[in-house]
Chains A and B, each alone.
Chain A
Amino acid sequence: MSPSASLLEVESLTVRLPIEGGMREVLHGVSLEIRPGESVGLVGESGSGKSMTARAIDRILPPGAAVSGQIRFGGRDVMSLGGADLKKFRGEVAMIFQDPRAHTNPVRRIGDFMTEALCTNQGVSKQDASRRAVALLKDVGIEDGERRLHQYPHELSGGLLQRVMIATALLTKPRLLLADEPTTALDVTTQAEVVGILDTLRSDLGLAMLFITHNLELAAAICDRTIVMYAGQVVEVRQSNRLHDEPLHPYTAALTAARPSIERTAPRLLAIAGRPLSAFEAPETECAFAPRCPYAQDVCRRARPSLVELDGGMTRCVRASDLVGHMELSAHG
């Protein structure tokens, strides 16, 4: 990995939200970095804070959110951006969501939706914007773009609509793509196509990407590095090609082992006891995963571990150096 300057730097990001009458911490000091052109996976179960991280980066947190820490994009402080600068920033950091139907207006045509940001924020003429939209639709494998621009969202299948979303995100020529579970709602064969398009376009354009998913293998397939989150904290950062066979954190190992295999039937899956903690339930005085961790000892319950470097990656586990290479990774022996 070349030591080029970061495109995005997130440092000690802490987010508190008004939940059930009190301010609850939903992100506990998240730090991460993305270099220009790099694709980074952000993996975790529900409530782990992965979407919240992306929303904090794009400055679209729910009202009442209290944020501390640092977010820097291309050297600029994102938290202090306002007005025109914030709009410009959102053009450079584009977001793709899980459910394209929930993020399109059902009574507006695809064309109006796609070109809105270009026309209103960047002063591009309607005609120019449409021409660029058609060209990008072609890039995502939609040949009859002209016709699609006049259609409404309900006339397109989920896979097609998600391709439209990708093309829309690329229209403002972003430098970073925040993709929040962009293929989770799609069929497996459609997912493979959409991910293939995203992957190809991203590397052709030299675009950096934060790819949020609950699917470790999907992240590993298209991301250079993968970040694993649990209960509002980063617990592991690893080169994707080493994540499956050489995880650093017991949680990552447990996730790998819990998933059934398409290759063979396990006599019994290695389920993780208990349920995933929501971020705001994470204890401050011990490792958040300790209650479910098969390797937990007293030392794990004395303090919240910090993220430490190990074997080319990072892990938030005090026992990591003892455990690496000795954790159970499959129910198949």
Chain B
Amino acid sequence: MAEPILEVKGLRKEFGPLVAVDDVSFSLPEGGSLAIVGESGSGKTTVAKMIVGLERPTAGVIRACGADRSLPPRSTRERRRRGREVQIVFQDPYTSLDPRQTGEATIDEVLRLHRGWDRDRRRERIKQLADLVGLDDRQMRALPRSLSGGQRQRVAIARALAAEPRVLILDESVAALDVSIQAQVLNLLADIHDETQVSYLCISHDLAVVRQLTQETVVMWRGRVVERGTTAQVLDDPQDDYTRRLRASVPRPGWKPPGHTVAPAAV
């Protein structure tokens, strides 16, 4: 079997006395899609941060694209290589873009840094990426403040893809979007997955989003993995108590909150 594109083994992170991530292991095959599901405090975002190098693991191994990244990079070259391999799209498109930089300039900077292309080639690639995420010229030349949330998130996705990463981490990337826009971005992410063979690590609390976007799922609770399997298995036949409770809490047609007393039939 081929080596996974991303592999995490025995990952642990302590913040003082608090163990935020405790013995977490999973692997993401090339071209695959894996969800880490959990609520606030589950440690899912800390795992993502350790993978991209924003937090340093207390213990454990992270390997991506055949290279170890458990320890901080020792050179600029190494740091950039890691950046190229794994990119991340954050939850909040309002704070994750530079307010003084247009979409075009944002992507241009990534292309200059990671690809070192000349101006014409960069311009051509910017156009391609804009088409891929569905932004027009005017939107690409606008500052974030004049873009909607959905448009900003498209810029963030285009920026992440500009580095041509092999792993894209989606950290609650559609959570802040309106339902109608969320569907557009989810379809876009599915298209990109089909077209580019990029692998997805999807961090989310939204089980319906996870079902739509991923093949496999890891459920985290209080820093630990409590359940794993194919996404369909985990959602259709949850084994762990916490996964069951999570599944049962999602409002859906006919759903009633706990403690709801059934009203007598309408007269």
A199 interface neighbour in B184, B190, B247, B259, Cβ under 8 Å = B259
Q: Are A220 and B253 in contact (CB under 8 A)?
A: yes
In the bound complex, how far is the Cα of B242 from the Cα of A189, in angstroms?
A: 10
In the bound complex, how far is the Cα of B212 from the Cα of A265, in angstroms?
A: 5
Q: Which residues of A contact B54 (CB under 8 A)?
A: none
Q: Which residues of A contact B178 (CB under 8 A)?
A: 45-46, 214, 276
Q: Are B187 and A268 in contact (CB under 8 A)?
A: yes
**Closest A residue by C-beta to B150:** A275
Segment with Cβ contacts to A, from B2-10, B24-32, B67-75, B203-211: B203-211
Q: Which residues of A contact B253 (CB under 8 A)?
A: 217, 220, 244-245
Q: Are A259 and B39 in contact (CB under 8 A)?
A: no
**Interface magnitude class on chain B:** 35 or more
A188 interface neighbour in B151, B186, B205, Cβ under 8 Å = B205
- A46 and B149 in contact, given A262-B211, A265-B211 (Cβ under 8 angstroms): yes
Q: Are B255 and A217 in contact (CB under 8 A)?
A: yes
In the bound complex, how far is the Cα of B206 from the Cα of A187, in angstroms?
A: 10
Q: Are A272 and B183 in contact (CB under 8 A)?
A: yes
**Closest A residue by C-beta to B148:** A275
- A255 and B180 in contact, given A196-B260, A265-B212 (Cβ under 8 angstroms): yes
Q: Which residues of A contact B249 (CB under 8 A)?
A: 188-189, 191-192
Q: Are A200 and B260 in contact (CB under 8 A)?
A: yes
Q: Are A197 and B211 in contact (CB under 8 A)?
A: no
Q: Which residues of B contact A265 (CB under 8 A)?
A: 211-212, 231-232
Is B251 in contact with chain A by the CB < 8 A criterion?
A: yes
- A269 and B187 in contact, given A46-B149, A188-B246, A258-B182 (Cβ under 8 angstroms): yes
- Chain A residues 192-222 with CB under 8 Å of chain B are 192-193, 195-197, 199-200, 203, 214-215, 217-218, 220-222
A192 interface neighbour in B148, B184, B187, B257, Cβ under 8 Å = B257
Q: Which residues of A contact B258 (CB under 8 A)?
A: 192-193, 196
Q: Which residues of B contact A200 (CB under 8 A)?
A: 259-261
Smallest beta-carbon distance B150→chain A, Å: 6
Q: Are B257 and A270 in contact (CB under 8 A)?
A: no
In the bound complex, how far is the Cα of B257 from the Cα of A221, in angstroms?
A: 7
In the bound complex, how far is the Cα of B48 from the Cα of A118, in angstroms?
A: 46
Is B76 in contact with chain A by the CB < 8 A criterion?
A: no
A221 interface neighbour in B179, B232, B251, B266, Cβ under 8 Å = B251
Q: Are B205 and A203 in contact (CB under 8 A)?
A: no
Q: Are A187 and B180 in contact (CB under 8 A)?
A: no
Q: Are B251 and A218 in contact (CB under 8 A)?
A: yes
Is A264 in contact with chain B by the CB < 8 A criterion?
A: yes
- A275 and B261 in contact, given A187-B40, A245-B253, A261-B208 (Cβ under 8 angstroms): no
Q: Which residues of B contact A261 (CB under 8 A)?
A: 208, 211-212
Q: Are A264 and B211 in contact (CB under 8 A)?
A: yes
Is A260 in contact with chain B by the CB < 8 A criterion?
A: yes
Is A271 in contact with chain B by the CB < 8 A criterion?
A: yes
- Chain B residues 227-265 with CB under 8 Å of chain A are 231-232, 235, 245-253, 255-261, 263
In the bound complex, how far is the Cα of B177 from the Cα of A275, in angstroms?
A: 11
In the bound complex, how far is the Cα of B232 from the Cα of A244, in angstroms?
A: 24
Q: Are A214 and B255 in contact (CB under 8 A)?
A: no
In the bound complex, how far is the Cα of B231 from the Cα of A270, in angstroms?
A: 21
Q: Which residues of B contact A193 (CB under 8 A)?
A: 257-258
Q: Are B251 and A260 in contact (CB under 8 A)?
A: no
Type the 1/0 row for A1-45, where 1 means its CB is closer than 8 Å to any CB of B: 110000000000000000000000000000000000000000001
In the bound complex, how far is the Cα of B176 from the Cα of A214, in angstroms?
A: 11
Q: Are B183 and A196 in contact (CB under 8 A)?
A: no
- A269 and B259 in contact, given A187-B205, A262-B235 (Cβ under 8 angstroms): no
Is A81 in contact with chain B by the CB < 8 A criterion?
A: no
B179 interface neighbour in A158, A191, A244, A258, Cβ under 8 Å = A258
**Closest A residue by C-beta to B263:** A203
Q: Which residues of B contact A191 (CB under 8 A)?
A: 249
Q: Are A271 and B211 in contact (CB under 8 A)?
A: no
Q: Which residues of B contact A258 (CB under 8 A)?
A: 179-180, 182-183
Type the 1/0 row for A249-262, where 1 means its CB is closer than 8 Å to any CB of B: 00000110011111
Q: Are A222 and B257 in contact (CB under 8 A)?
A: yes
Q: Are B261 and A203 in contact (CB under 8 A)?
A: yes
Q: Which residues of A contact B261 (CB under 8 A)?
A: 200, 203
In the bound complex, how far is the Cα of B39 from the Cα of A158, in angstroms?
A: 12
Q: Are B179 and A255 in contact (CB under 8 A)?
A: yes
Is B181 in contact with chain A by the CB < 8 A criterion?
A: yes
Provide a sorted-by-A list of 12 A–B residue pairs whose CB atoms are within 8 angstroms.
Answer: A189-B245, A196-B259, A200-B260, A214-B178, A259-B179, A263-B211, A263-B252, A265-B212, A265-B232, A272-B184, A275-B150, A275-B180
Binding site for A on B (CB under 8 A): 39-40, 148-151, 178-184, 186-187, 190, 205, 207-209, 211-212, 231-232, 235, 245-253, 255-261, 263, 266-267
Binding site for B on A (CB under 8 A): 1-2, 45-46, 158, 187-193, 195-197, 199-200, 203, 214-215, 217-218, 220-222, 244-245, 254-255, 258-266, 268-272, 275-276, 292
Extra 10 A-B pairs, beta carbons < 8 Å, given A259-B208, A265-B232, A269-B187: A1-B266, A45-B178, A189-B39, A193-B257, A200-B261, A258-B183, A260-B211, A262-B252, A268-B190, A275-B150
